Amino acid sequence: MSVAVKKNERLVFFVFLAAFLIRVLYILQILKFPLTEYLIRSNVFDQYGFDKAGIFIASGNWFGGNEIFGKEPLYSYFLAVIYKVFGWNHFWVYLIQAMLTSVSVALLYKVTKEIFNKIAAYIAAFIFAFYAVSIFYDALILRASFLTSINIFLFYLLVRAQRGDKPILWLVSGLVLGLSILTRQNILFPFIIIFVLVSVRPFKRSLKCVLIFTLGLFFVLTPVLIRNYLVSDNKNLRVSKEVNAFWVGNTHTSSGVDVVWSPEYHRLEGRSG
């Protein structure tokens, strides 16, 4: 039994190592491409905004300025910490993102094995390890890679919490969900609550789990909500003032693929803080 376990652990480690090495090779290759840095320094692209926010925070502005965050702030703080420790060097951002993704490959294996079986777990881990889009995003100053790692960790914790009997796991799950929302706030939080209520028995215990989970969530969100309330002209409680994504898909003037910069949009943006 122990021999089989060790063999499984070795295989997962090799998949993790392969995922990390292929990403490192891609990073070393992409750094030689002249447009890589240009896309970060051009203010047309989102990479520019995240990079500038990271530099601004790392320069000593850890409060984040004197207005509501333009985008969800956690990824900018993630960049700021890296810049503070290693200097303004995007290689370290890419490398850390690649490491987080590679760890997520191992977590995905564990989650899939818990829900399905070992064969499905190997297939899922292998696909994710060599998924071209994932490799591509690990070498960008964008939150997609970082957010994916957080959400896989959240999924892992939720499965562990649902199948165990440790309230601390629900608390940590709530904390991690808070981090996910502070990275991108359109995660479907109500469906997680439904999952807890349906999957945990008895019902009284499920309510307790929801309460602990929600406590962890708001422990993370509350400081940002208070901070944005204090700096907002309209005293708004929100994570950020980004309304583009909602506007693109939910207004009569939107095309569904891009923002129409109408007076209504600017009015809504102004009201958001």
**Smallest Cα–Cα separation from 72: which of 219, 149, 181, 234?**
181
Average pLDDT value for residue range 111-135? 96
Whether 105 has a pLDDT exceeding 90, the answer reads yes
For 134-169, the DSSP string reads HHHHHTSSSHHHHHHHHHHHHHHHHHHHHHS--HHH
Average pLDDT value for residue range 95-106? 98
Q: What is the pLDDT of residue 82?
A: 98
In tens, the pLDDT along 165-194 reads: 789 999 999 999 999 999 998 777 788 888
Is this model's pTM higher than 0.75 or not?
Answer: yes
In tens, the pLDDT along 74-84 reads: 999 999 999 99
Match 């708001």 to its residue by tokens: 218
Q: How far apart are the first and last CA of the chain?
A: 59
Q: What is the pLDDT of residue 64?
A: 93
In tens, the pLDDT along 7-61 reads: 677 889 999 999 999 999 999 999 999 888 988 998 888 999 999 999 999 999 9
Q: What is the pLDDT of residue 5?
A: 56
